[in-house]
Structure 1
Amino acid sequence: MLLEHAVEADFPAIIELVNAAYRGHGDVESWNIESGIIEGTRLTDSLLREDLAAKPHAHFLVHRDLWSGAIIGTVWLEPVDEDVWYLGLFTIDPALQKQHLGRGLLSAAEDFAKQRGARTIRMGVLNVRDALIAWYERRGYQRTGKTEPYPYGDNRFGTPLRDDLAFVILEKHF
């Protein structure tokens, strides 16, 4: 699966895709939306630009449909240590999610990071997203036993609808 670095011209399509995949906006809802957990916009133009400016060593990658060129997947990869990389903003177009594209995108993202020295991929998944955690576990990710607090009071990524949120930290070692 071909991954390309996102460019500024991609931002509107990326923002639309991320919001559809995380929050269920659009014609087809994702199987793993955050409905009932967090509401509101997941990504805006200003948030995307802020993250890219604050983390110039990160790689925000897109996967395009081979025929139309439309962005159908995204992944954020960021080196956090000499051999540990963080994976985030992982999305597949909700209309295409039952075609196993997520598996391919995840594998391509892991290969991208491994080629740049990663020996571990780390991510945080909301503790209440059992189906999503199980999906990652089936792909070799393991719970580390660590959690990180949810950033209550920072509604830049949406408004939490629950008061019991935290991020479960998962890792995969190569």
Structure 2
Amino acid sequence: MEATAGTSPAGCGVTAMFLEHAKEDDYPAIIELVNAAYRGTGAVESWNIETGIIEGTRLTDSLLRQDLATKPDAHFLVHRDLAGGAIVGTVWLEPVNNRAWYLGLFTIDPALQKQHLGRKLLSAAEDFARAHKAKSIRMGVLSVRSALVAWYQRRGYQLTGETEPYPYGDNRFGTPLRDDLEFVILGKQL
């Protein structure tokens, strides 16, 4: 299933952003993009990389395949550059129950981040979830990433007061460099 997101609320002037489900042929490009956006492995560093927080690979082929296999109701969506077809953004949307959806693996190509594509992708992801009967979106963000938490808050997400522990000892997503990591949970009604 494919989706096109329409104009965002609040008069942001965001125009349609086309999302499509990731295909197996896309996995190498997705993995490269996610690792560049989260860990700064590309030519241009993202404004919100996890330098000094977590090091190592954020996503591998086996992790991606495992998540897709164990979460068949999830939608892993990509946005492509219209001119060349390159993947420039990703978002994972997963129904948690009949009302709340989880948002994760939200990335924009670091070289394009100053073009407000993150705002457009987030709006498109919300439109996609809404079209699939979601009533709210939740996400976990590392509490020490205050600039990223603030970015989501400016887009209508609120701290729920809930936290989740960081999975110390499980280095599938990288090696933590700090001993004070936890996830704060943000949510937004759609």
TM interval, shorter chain, is over 0.9
Kindly state the Cα deviation for residue 74 of structure 1 after the two structures are TM-superposed: 0.1
Alignment pair present for 1:73 and 2:89: yes
Match of 1:99, as an amino acid? Q
Which residues of 2 match residues 7-18 of structure 1 at below 5 A? 7-18=23-34
Structure 1 length-normalised TM: 1.00
Kindly state the Cα deviation for residue 151 of structure 1 after the two structures are TM-superposed: 0.2
Match of 1:62, as an amino acid? V
Among the aligned pairs, what percent are the same residue?
A: 80
Q: Out of 90, 101, 106, which is 1:90 matched to?
A: 106
Match of 1:91, as an amino acid? T
Q: Out of 60, 63, 86, which is 1:47 matched to?
A: 63
Partner of 2:143: 127
Structure 2 length-normalised TM: 0.91
Which structure 1 residue ranges, 5 or more long, are not aligned? none
Superposed CA RMSD in Å reads 0.3
Kindly state the Cα deviation for residue 102 of structure 1 after the two structures are TM-superposed: 0.2
1:3 is paired with a residue whose SS is: strand
Which structure 2 residue ranges, 5 or more long, are not aligned? 1-16
Equivalent residues, number: 174
Q: Out of 9, 12, 21, which is 1:5 matched to?
A: 21
2:18 is paired with a residue whose SS is: coil
Partner of 2:14: none
Partner of 2:79: 63
1:73 is paired with a residue whose SS is: strand
Query: 1:13-51, CA deviations, whole angstroms, 9 ceiling, x for partnerless residues?
Result: 000000000000111000000000000000000000000
Distance 1:5 1:154 in 2: 28
Which residues of 2 match residues 13-52 of structure 1 at below 5 A? 13-52=29-68
Partner of 2:5: none
Distance 1:55 1:27 in 2: 32
Kindly state the Cα deviation for residue 63 of structure 1 after the two structures are TM-superposed: 0.2
Query: 1:81-111, CA deviations, whole angstroms, 9 ceiling, x for partnerless residues?
Result: 1110000000000000000000000000000
Kindly state the Cα deviation for residue 71 of structure 1 after the two structures are TM-superposed: 0.1
User: After the TM superposition, which segments of 4 or more aligned residues of structure 1 sit over 2 Å from their partners?
Assistant: none
Partner of 2:169: 153
Distance 1:124 1:153 in 2: 19
Distance 1:33 1:154 in 2: 20
